[in-house]
Amino acid sequence: MRNTLYTVTMCFVMQKQLALSLCLVLTVAAAGQSYKVENISPENGLSNSWVSSILQDEEGFIWFGTWNGLNRYDGYNFTVFKPVPGDSFSLTNNAIKTLCEDNSGNMWIGTENGLNWFDPNTEKFLRFMHNPHDSNSISNDYILSLHVDTRGMLWIGTKGGGLNSIDSTGIFRRFYNPHSPESNNINGIIEDKSNNSFLWLGTEDGLFRFEKSTGGFISYPVGNHAYLVITALYQDENNDLYIGTWGSGLIKLDRAENKFVYCFHGSQTGDQNAKGVIVLSILPDHFGNLWVGTRDHGMILMDTKTLSFRDITSLLGNENHNDRVIMSLYRGSSGIIWVGTRYNGVFKIVPRTKSFVRPVVNLHDRNMNRGVISSFTMDQEGNKWFGIRNEGLVCIDGKNGTVRGYRQEVNSPGTLNNNTVLAICPVKEAGKTILWIGTDGGGLNKLDPVSGSCIHYKKNPGDRNSLSNDHIYSILDLDADHLLVGTWGISTSGGLDLFNKKNGQCINFECTPDDPASLDSRIVLRLYRDREGDIWIGTRGGGLSKMTIRDLNAENPAEIASFVTFKHVNGKANSLSHNDVNSIYEDKNGTLWIGTGGGGLNRFDRIHESFRSFSLEDGFNDDMIYNILEDKQNILWLSTSNGIIKFNPKTETVRNYVKTDGLPHNEFSPGSSFKSPAGEIYFGGVNGFTSFYPDSIRENLNIPDIAITAFTISGKGTSYNAMDYTRVSLNYIKKVELPHSLNDLSFEFASLDYTTPEKNQYKYRLSGYHEDWTYANSDRRFVSYTNLPPGRYIFTVKGSNNDLLWNEEGRSIEIIISPPFYKTSIFRLAMLLLVLGAISFLLFYAITRYQHEKQRVEEEMKVSILDERNQLHTLIDNIPDSIYIKDRESRFIVANKKVATVMGTTPEELVNKTDFNFYAHDLASQFYEDEQTIMRTLEPKINYEEPGLDEQGNRVIISTTKVPLVNKEGEVVGIVGMGRDITKTKRIEIQLRKRTEDLQETNTILEERQEEIQQQSEELSAQADNLRKINNELERLNRTKDKFFSIIAHDLRNPFHAIIGFSELLTKEYNTMDDQQRKGLLELINVSSEG
pLDDT digits (tens, 9 = 90+) for 1043-1054: 665 666 565 556
Strand order in the sheet with 955-966: 892-895, 882-887, 972-981, 955-966, 941-949
More confident residue, 286 or 118: 118
Q: CA-to-CA distance for 100 and 115, rounded, in angstroms?
A: 11
Query: Would you state the pLDDT for residue 1042?
Result: 66
Read off the pLDDT band of 6 (50, 70, 90): very low
Q: For residue 1033, count CB atoms less than 10 angstroms from its CB and return exposed for 0-12, middle for 13-18, buried for 19 or more.
A: exposed
Give me the sign of the Cα torsion angle 263, 268, 269, 271. positive
Of the ranges 10-24, 130-144, 441-455, 1074-1088, which one carries the lowest mean pLDDT score? 10-24
The pTM assigned to this predicted structure is 0.68
Lowest mean pLDDT among 299-313, 618-632, 851-865: 851-865
- DSSP class of residue 624 equals B
Confidence of residue 21 (pLDDT cuts 50, 70, 90): very low
If pLDDT is split at 50, 70 and 90, which confidence band does 686 have?
very high
Q: How far apart are CA 199 and CA 153, in angstroms?
A: 12
Give which of 558, 423, 420, 397 is closest to 483, Cα–Cα. 423
d(CA 573, CA 557): 33
- CA 964 and chain centroid, separation: 81
Going by their DSSP bridges, the two strands 124-128 and 143-148 should be labelled as unpaired
Strands of the sheet with 384-388, listed across from one edge:
403-406, 392-396, 384-388, 373-378, 668-675, 681-685, 688-692
Domain boundaries along the sequence of the chain: 706-823
- Per-residue pLDDT band for 22 (boundaries 50, 70, 90) equals very low
Residue type for position 291: W
The CA R_g of the chain, rounded to the nearest whole Å, is 59
Burial 112-125 (b: 16+ CB within 10 A, else e): bbbbbbbebeebbb
Count of C-beta atoms within a 10 Å radius of residue 624: 22
pLDDT at 367: 80
> Residue 155 pairs with which residues in a beta bridge?
147, 165
Beta carbons within 8 Å of 562's beta carbon, 6+ residues apart: 517, 547, 548, 550
Burial of 994: CB neighbours in 10 Å, binned 0-12, 13-18, 19+: exposed
Neighbours of 1046 (CB within 10 A): 10
Q: With contact defined as beta carbons under 8 Å apart, do 167 and 202 qualify?
A: no
CA atoms in the 13 A half-sphere facing the CB of 997: 5
Are 12 and 394 contacting, i.e. CB atoms less than 8 angstroms apart?
Answer: no
Region 225-238: mean pLDDT is 91
The contacts of residue 261 (CB under 8 Å, 6+ apart) are 251, 252, 254, 307
Query: Residue 16: which pLDDT band, with cuts at 50, 70 and 90?
Result: very low
Which residues have CB under 8 Å from 1008's CB, separation 6+? none
**CA–CA dist 694, 647 (Å, integer):** 12
Query: Please, what is the Cα angle at 455 between 452 and 457, to 5 degrees?
Result: 145
Nearest to 975 by CA among 1023, 1020, 930: 930
DSSP string computed for 577-590: S-SBEEEEEE-TTS
**Spatial distance between the Cα atoms of 679 and 692, rounded to a whole number of angstroms:** 9
pLDDT, tens digit (0-9, with 9 covering 90-100), for 394-423: 999 999 989 999 999 888 888 999 999 999
| pLDDT tens readout for residues 291-338 | 999 998 999 999 999 999 999 988 887 655 457 899 999 999 989 999
848 or 951: whose pLDDT is higher?
848
Mean pLDDT of the region 837-852 = 88
Query: Does residue 15 surpass a pLDDT of 60?
Result: no
Q: Is the pLDDT of residue 893 over 90?
A: no
The 3-state DSSP class for residue 473 equals strand
Residues whose CB falls within 8 Å of the CB of residue 606, separated by 6 or more in sequence, listed in order: 592
Distance CA 970, CA 1055 (A): 17
Helix (H, G, I), strand (E, B) or coil at 170: coil
Task: Specify which residues 797 forms β-bridges with.
Answer: 764, 811
Alpha helices in 758-824 (DSSP H): none
Q: Could you tell me if 546 and 499 are in contact, meaning their C-beta atoms sit under 8 angstroms apart?
A: no
Q: 814 by DSSP, 3-state: which?
A: strand
Compute the C-alpha angle 1002/1007/1008, nearest 5°.
95
| Type of residue numbered 426 | P
Instruction: With H, G, I as helix, E, B as strand and everything else as coil, classify residue 996.
Output: helix
Query: What pLDDT is attached to residue 7?
Result: 24
What is the Cα–Cα distance from 440 to 445, expressed in whole angstroms? 11
Give the dihedral of Cα atoms 633, 639, 640, 644; nearest 10 deg. Answer: 60
Check: CB of residue 761 under 8 Å from CB of residue 728.
no
CA separation for the pair 236, 239 (Å, rounded): 5
Cite the beta strand spans of 67-142 per DSSP E.
69-73, 78-81, 96-101, 107-111, 114-119, 124-128
CATH superfamily of 706-823: Immunoglobulins (2.60.40.10)
Separation between Cα atoms, residue 748 and residue 799, nearest integer Å: 12
Q: Report the greatest alpha carbon distance in the chain.
A: 199
| CB-facing half-sphere around the CA of 882: CA atoms within 13 A | 26
Coil/strand/helix, residue 730: helix
Return the higher-pLDDT residue of 471 and 848: 471
Question: 603: which strand partners?
Answer: 593, 612
C-alpha span between 917 and 37 (Å, rounded) = 125
Q: Which residues pair with 198 in a beta bridge?
A: 211
Name the average pLDDT for the chain: 87
Summarised one tens digit per residue, pLDDT across range 691-701 is 999 998 888 88
Whether residue 1080 is predicted with pLDDT greater than 80 in this model: the reply is: no
Residue type present at position 777: N
Per DSSP, the three-state class of 290 is strand
Taking the C-alpha atoms of 656, 659, 662 and 665 in order, what is their torsion angle to the nearest 10 degrees? 110
543, 579 Cβ separation under 8 angstroms? yes
Q: Which of 20-29, 426-435, 725-734, 1046-1055 has the lowest mean pLDDT?
A: 20-29
User: At 14, is the pLDDT very low, low, confident or very high (cuts 50, 70, 90)?
Assistant: very low
User: What does the pLDDT read at residue 1023?
Assistant: 75
Tens of pLDDT, residues 630-646: 999 999 999 999 999 99
Burial of 146 (0-12, 13-18, 19+ CB in 10 A): buried
Let me know: does 114 contact 93? Beta carbons within 8 Å. yes
How far is Cα of residue 440 from the mean position of the Cα atoms in its chain? Answer: 53
- Let me know if 897 is exposed, middle or buried by CB neighbors in 10 A (0-12, 13-18, 19+): middle
Backbone angles phi, psi at 849, to 5 degrees: -65, -40
Say if CB 447 and CB 429 are below 8 A apart.
no
- Comparing 56-60, 778-782, 842-846, 986-990, the range with the smallest average pLDDT is 986-990
Kindly provide the residue ranges of all beta strands, DSSP E only, lying in 752-790, ordered along the sequence: 762-767, 770-776, 782-785
How sure is the predictor about 660, in pLDDT bands with cuts at 50, 70 and 90? confident
